[in-house]
Amino acid sequence: MKQALPGSRPLCTLSAAREAPQRVMCDGRALVVWMVDDVLPAVIDDRCPHGNARLSAGYVLYGRIVCPLHMWTFGPDGRAQAPGGRVEAAGPMPRSYECWISGDQVWARIAA
């Protein structure tokens, strides 16, 4: 049972993650939770490395979260794609976290 793993936390309801990207504060970290598809959640740091925007203020397109400022997109692994293909980050890329669904909650393992 993954919930028993150290650092495992429920982040938000599945219905909320399906509705829109969710900003969740967990152990002092700002995270964004979204659904890649109907059964696959994703959790990465809620900070765009291009200009520090909150990714949770963006939207989901083809399973990737889209930054609301300049439309960089991020996959569940935290890798960025920029329009036109150039990726010049002002900060470190978002960290991704192991996540899963249990019951009506999205869980993640937030290791130190």
* 70 in contact with ligand FES (CB under 6 A): yes
Tell me if 50 contacts ligand FES by CB under 6 A. Answer: yes
Q: Which of the stretches 26-34, 37-45, 64-72, 100-108 binds ligand FES when contact is defined by CB under 6 A? A: 64-72
Beta-sheet pairing, 41-45 with 64-66: unpaired
Q: Which stretch binds ligand FES (CB under 6 A): 10-18, 28-36, 49-57, 99-107?
A: 49-57
Burial class (CB in 10 A: 0-12, 13-18, 19+), 84: exposed
Minimum CB separation of residue 107 from ligand FES in Å reads: 27
Query: Is residue 91 at the binding interface for ligand FES, with CB under 6 A as the rule?
Result: no
- 107, containing H or E segment: strand 105-109
If one asks whether residue 99 binds ligand FES (CB under 6 A), the answer comes out as no
Query: Which tokens is 63 given?
Result: 């399973």
Within 10 Å of residue 26's Cβ, how many Cβ atoms? 16
Report the site for ligand FES in 19-38 (rule: CB under 6 A).
Answer: none
